[in-house]
Amino acid sequence: MGKSFYKCTNLIVGYHGYWVRLTYFGLIVAICGICFALGGNLKYALICLMISGICDAFDGRIANLKERTDREKSYGIQIDALADIVNFGVLPAMIGYAILQNGSLGVIHVAIFSIYVLAALIRLAHFNVIEIELLGKKEKRTYYEGLPVTTVALIIPVIFFLCDILALPLSIVYPASLAVFALAFVLKVKIPKLNPPAIFLFCLLGLPAVVYILVKGVSNNV
C-alpha cells in the first residue's frame, strides 16, 4: 500500500511523504469547517478549527523526524502557510459570517472579516520570508514577530465559552476579537517560540472550553 501510494505521488507535482500529510489533513478538516459554518453549524465548525490547530501544532515535529532536502523543506514551509491561511484565516471569518447571518451582518462586519484575513495573509507571508532566510543560514527560529495565526484555534473556542457562560453577545464580541487579532498578527512584537511542553500546557488551559463546546454545544443566542 505504501509503495503504491509513493509511486502514485511521483506522478503529480509537490512532495507527499508522511511528513506533510498532517498538513494536508488539517486543510481538509478546515474546508469541512467552512462548509459547516456556511450551513450555520457553529459547533462542528469550531471542532474543525480545533482539529486543524492540533494538526498544525504537530506537523512540524513530524516533519523534523525525516531527513529532508532543502527543496522539501521549502515546500513544507510554503504548504504550511498556504494551509494556514484557510485554516486560521478564512475559517474564522466564515464562523463570524455564520454568527451574523441572521440579518445583523453589516458593512463594518464584512470589513473586519476581510481585514482579518488580509492581516493573516501578511503575517504568514512575512513568516515564510524569514523561514526561508533561516533555512539558507541553517539556523532555527527562536521567536515569532506578531501573534502566530494558529493561536486562534484555541482562543476562538475560549471566546465562545466565555460568551456563553457570561451571557455576552457573540455578535459584538466575536467581530471585535477578530479586529484585535488582525492588529496582533501584524504588530512587530517578538513572541518567544514555545517548546512542546509549553504548547501542551497552553492546550490544557483551553481544555475546559473545548469540553464545554463538545458536551453542551454552542448557544444560539448570539
CATH classification of the domain holding 130: 1.20.120
Residue 72 lies in a domain: yes
Domain assignment of residue 222, yes or no: no
Answer whether residue 32 is part of any domain: yes
Residue 206 belongs to some domain of the structure: yes
Which H or E element spans position 145? Answer: strand 143-145
Report yes or no on 107 lying in a domain. Answer: yes
Q: Tell me, yes or no, whether 29 lies in a domain.
A: yes
Total structural domains within the chain: 1
Residue 24, Cβ density class (10 Å: 0-12 exposed, 13-18 middle, ≥19 buried): middle
Q: How many angstroms separate the Cα of 39 from the Cα of each of 70, 104, 157, 172?
A: 41, 17, 19, 21
Domain assignment present for residue 153? The answer is yes
Judge whether 221 lies within some domain.
Answer: no
pLDDT in tens, the chain (222 residues): 555 555 555 667 777 777 788 999 999 999 999 999 999 899 999 999 999 998 988 887 777 777 778 788 888 889 999 999 999 999 999 999 999 987 788 999 999 999 999 999 999 999 888 888 877 777 777 778 889 999 999 999 999 999 999 999 999 999 999 999 999 999 988 888 777 677 777 777 777 887 888 887 776 555
CA distance 142 to 194: 9
User: Domain range for residue 131?
Assistant: 2-216
| CA–CA–CA angle 32, 33, 35 (5° rounding) | 65
